[in-house]
Amino acid sequence: MKPTTDQTAAIRITDLCKTFGSQTVLNRVNLQVKRGETLVVLGRSGTGKSVLLRLLIGLQRPDSGSIQVLGQEITELLEEPLYDIRKRIGFVFQNSALYDSLTVVENVAFPLKYHRRMTASQRHDRALEILSQVGMDQAAAKMPTDISGGMKKRVGLARALALEPELMLYDEPTAGLDPITSGEINELILKLQQERAMSSIVVTHEIHSAAAISDRVALLDQGSIVFDGTFEALKQSDDAFVSLFVRNG
Amino acid sequence: MPNETEQTGFSGEVPSPSFLVWIGELGVFTTRLVRSIFAPPFHFKELFQQMHEVGTRSLPLVVLASAATGVVLSLQTRESLVRFGAKSLLPVVIILTIIKESGPIITALVVCGRVGAGIGAQLGSMKVTEQIDAIEASAVDSFKLLVVTRVVACVLMLPLLTIVADFSGILVGWLANTMVEHVPLVPFLADGFKPVTFQDLIPATLRTALFGFIIGLLGCFQGLRTTGGTEGVARSATSAVVLSSLFVIVADVWLVRLIQIVFRP
């Protein structure tokens, strides 16, 4: 039976399965994110966290199960309606995925160019405004190859914010960064959540990020959600794997 | 294409496909490409940028390669024709050879090397660094933006480059000839073009549009199938050049025969 459309949840995932060859990556995953809520998905490297995000935005298709994003079932959507949903979602890639032939400001202006009726100068001004919100307006004219990893993350975040999304998906936003830059990115994410009241899913393996930004935490292990609750509850869990993860995080 | 890339950073997936799978995927890719060319939205700005990349930037290399061919053709043919007492046919032989075969094929092979490799490497690099996924995540059809524009640019620019190559080959062919034995340019051209008809020029030049399609198609196809980081990008660039050169030569054989049948005098 098809799950009914839920207008109160930003995301509702039901019995989601995904395999690659003989390897089961996600096995009957059930998750829900309320509107305005920040869910942090924790898990070891290679447990399918990034695959989960890619399924949520339709970059990959699940084998079975249901994914409702912003009230719409996306697993069977054709290209055009899927693009309409994507306009309402911001995606921050693990390695930033900035367009290396464009400058920083052109990267941020890219979604505006295709989805907003603006002149080139209006687009440029709007992109600069978004860059200033993430503290990157000074680097607007630079090429992505000329900025640091932390700066790239900020620009990636600015690009994801360009269309004022209702839902943000972050794939390892602090991976590979030093603790101070990592803390700055977490603060930036928190600030944006508070200012814009967006729903968010943050995929990470870093416990301190979860502590800083989560309303709720889900822990993924071997394709299944083994914990779903607050960060406080995670710390106090008796489950052997959860305890091990928290202790070593 | 990008909706089901299965590029996950996950270990041990997607076995390397067999030749038949490759052919099948190429067929699906070509069908999607042909359908997408005529469906909006059209990215004209990106198309003009790609036309500049394929056309203007290939121009010096095409002119140089064609000029070299003109010199060699002139010197070699002259020697043979003198041996058989048919030296007066030299302008006709040079012009017909360049227009009907060496101009188109030299242009196509030069573009295979420069543009085919460039497309394969660029799209390959964009694929492994998730830039194509980022385009898709921004709700922009990456296939139309990247593939359609590049293939159409190749289709449009190859015939134009061929005309320039023909011009360069003929001019330098005359120069090489006149250095051995002075012949003024105008009589050389008048003699050479006397038997040339539009049936010689138009089909031979327009067939390079198909070469352009092959170069763009295989460059994009190999680029978007890239896996495995820098090494994968290098593999894609190389395979794009090798395959497009091979396919262009095979297509040339078929087209020459087809043109002979259709445009039989």
Give the residue ranges of DSSP H helices in chain A.
Answer: 49-56, 79-86, 104-115, 120-133, 149-161, 179-196, 207-213, 231-235, 240-248
User: Is B10 within 8 Å of A93 when comparing Cβ atoms?
Assistant: no
For the cut 90, the answer to whether the pLDDT of residue B50 exceeds it is yes
Nearest residue on chain A to B10, judged by CA atoms? A46
pLDDT reported for residue B82: 87
Q: How many CB atoms lie within 10 A of CB B136?
A: 26
Contacts of B6 in chain A (CB under 8 A): 20, 60
ipTM, 2 decimals?
0.92
Averaged pLDDT for residues A45-74: 93
Q: Measured between alpha carbons, how far is A169 from B138 in angstroms, rounded to an integer?
A: 12
For the cut 60, the answer to whether the pLDDT of residue B4 exceeds it is no
Q: Which whole-number Å values give the CA distances from A68 to A13, A113, A148, A199, A223, in the listed order?
A: 6, 28, 36, 14, 19
Q: Measured between alpha carbons, how far is B34 from A17 in angstroms, rounded to an integer?
A: 34
Give me Rg for the CA atoms of chain B: 21
Contact A59, A75 (CB under 8 A): no
Interface A-B: count of C-beta contacts within 8 A: 88
Q: Measured between alpha carbons, how far is A227 from A212 in angstroms, rounded to an integer?
A: 18
For the cut 50, the answer to whether the pLDDT of residue A3 exceeds it is no
Q: Which whole-number Å values give the CA distances from B244 to B27, B47, B153, B212, in the listed order?
A: 15, 21, 16, 9
Nearest residue on chain A to B143, judged by CA atoms? A79
Least confident residue range of B38-42, B221-225, B247-251: B38-42
The domain limits of chain A are 1-88+167-249, 96-164
The CATH class of A1-88+167-249 is: alpha beta
User: Is A51 within 8 Å of B10 when comparing Cβ atoms?
Assistant: yes
For the cut 60, the answer to whether the pLDDT of residue A2 exceeds it is no
- State the pLDDT confidence band at B7, using cuts at 50, 70 and 90: very low
Q: Measured between alpha carbons, how far is A218 from B132 in angstroms, rounded to an integer?
A: 29
User: Is B134 within 8 Å of A98 when comparing Cβ atoms?
Assistant: yes
Question: Closest to B139 (Cβ–Cβ): which among A48, A51, A115?
Answer: A115
Q: Measured between alpha carbons, how far is A56 from B241 in angstroms, rounded to an integer?
A: 37
For the cut 70, the answer to whether the pLDDT of residue B17 exceeds it is no
Calculate how close chain B gets to A50, using CA atoms only, in Å: 7
Contacts of B229 in chain A (CB under 8 A): none
For the cut 90, the answer to whether the pLDDT of residue A141 exceeds it is yes
Residues of chain B numbered 198-227 and touching chain A (CB < 8 Å): none
Contact B9, A50 (CB under 8 A): yes
Q: Measured between alpha carbons, how far is B174 from B236 in angstroms, rounded to an integer?
A: 40
User: Is B140 within 8 Å of A20 when comparing Cβ atoms?
Assistant: no
| Residue-wise pLDDT tens digits, A197-216 | 899 999 998 898 999 999 99
User: Is A23 within 8 Å of B13 when comparing Cβ atoms?
Assistant: yes
Residues of chain A numbered 163-182 and touching chain B (CB < 8 Å): 163
Task: Give, for A91, the enclosing helix (H) or strand (E).
Answer: strand A89-92
Task: Give, for A204, the enclosing helix (H) or strand (E).
Answer: strand A199-204
Q: To the nearest whole number, what is the mean pLDDT of chain A?
A: 91
Residue with tokens 């490759």: B22
Give the DSSP letter of residue B42. -
Nearest residue on chain B to A84, judged by CA atoms? B139
For the cut 60, the answer to whether the pLDDT of residue B1 exceeds it is no
Nearest residue on chain A to B6, judged by CA atoms? A60
From the list A90, A232, A236, the residue with the least C-alpha distance to A160 is A90
Residues in a beta bridge with A204? A42
pLDDT reported for residue A54: 95
pLDDT reported for residue B228: 86
pLDDT reported for residue A8: 75
Q: Measured between alpha carbons, how far is A31 from A39 in angstroms, rounded to an integer?
A: 10
Any A CB within 8 A of B23 CB:
no
Any A CB within 8 A of B39 CB:
no
User: Is B15 within 8 Å of A21 when comparing Cβ atoms?
Assistant: yes
Contacts of B137 in chain A (CB under 8 A): 57, 59, 86, 89, 91, 93
Q: Measured between alpha carbons, how far is A246 from B212 in angstroms, rounded to an integer?
A: 57
| Residue-wise pLDDT tens digits, A4-51 | 455 578 999 999 999 998 899 999 999 999 999 999 999 988 889 999
The domain limits of chain B are 42-262
User: Is A114 within 8 Å of B139 when comparing Cβ atoms?
Assistant: yes
pLDDT reported for residue B146: 97
User: Is A84 within 8 Å of B139 when comparing Cβ atoms?
Assistant: yes
User: Is B140 within 8 Å of A58 when comparing Cβ atoms?
Assistant: no
pLDDT reported for residue A233: 93
Contact A209, A202 (CB under 8 A): yes
pLDDT reported for residue B5: 44
Q: Measured between alpha carbons, how far is B166 from B151 in angstroms, rounded to an integer?
A: 23
User: Is B3 within 8 Å of A60 when comparing Cβ atoms?
Assistant: yes
- State the pLDDT confidence band at A238, using cuts at 50, 70 and 90: confident
Contacts of A86 in chain B (CB under 8 A): 136-139
pLDDT reported for residue A6: 52
CA angle in degrees (0–180, nearest 5) for A138-A139-A144: 170
Please confirm whether the linkage preceding B41 is cis (ω < 30° from 0).
Answer: yes
From the list A110, A87, A89, the residue with the least C-alpha distance to A99 is A110
Please state whether beta strands A23-34 and A9-20 pair in parallel, antiparallel, or not at all (unpaired). antiparallel
Phi, psi of A67 (to 5 degrees): -130, 115
Give the DSSP letter of residue A80. H
Any B CB within 8 A of A231 CB:
no
From the list A161, A155, A159, the residue with the least C-alpha distance to A136 is A155
Averaged pLDDT for residues B163-184: 94
The b/e string for B14-32 (b: 16+ C-beta within 10 A; e otherwise) is eeeeeeeeeeeebeebeee
Contacts of A94 in chain B (CB under 8 A): 130
For the cut 80, the answer to whether the pLDDT of residue B188 exceeds it is yes
pLDDT reported for residue B265: 63
From the list A221, A22, A25, A14, the residue with the least C-alpha distance to B8 is A25
Q: Measured between alpha carbons, how far is A113 from A123 in angstroms, rounded to an integer?
A: 7
Q: Measured between alpha carbons, how far is B180 from B173 in angstroms, rounded to an integer?
A: 11
| Residue-wise pLDDT tens digits, B73-108 | 999 998 889 888 888 899 999 999 999 999 999 999
Question: Closest to B139 (Cβ–Cβ): which among A50, A86, A93?
Answer: A86
Contact A210, A183 (CB under 8 A): no
Any A CB within 8 A of B141 CB:
yes
- State the pLDDT confidence band at A97, using cuts at 50, 70 and 90: very high
Please state whether beta strands A38-43 and A216-221 pair in parallel, antiparallel, or not at all (unpaired). parallel
| Residue-wise pLDDT tens digits, A149-181 | 999 999 999 999 999 999 999 999 988 888 888
Any B CB within 8 A of A223 CB:
no
Mapped onto helix, strand or coil, the DSSP state of residue A222 is coil
pLDDT reported for residue A7: 54
Any A CB within 8 A of B252 CB:
no
HSE-CB at B95 with a 13 A cutoff on CA atoms is 21
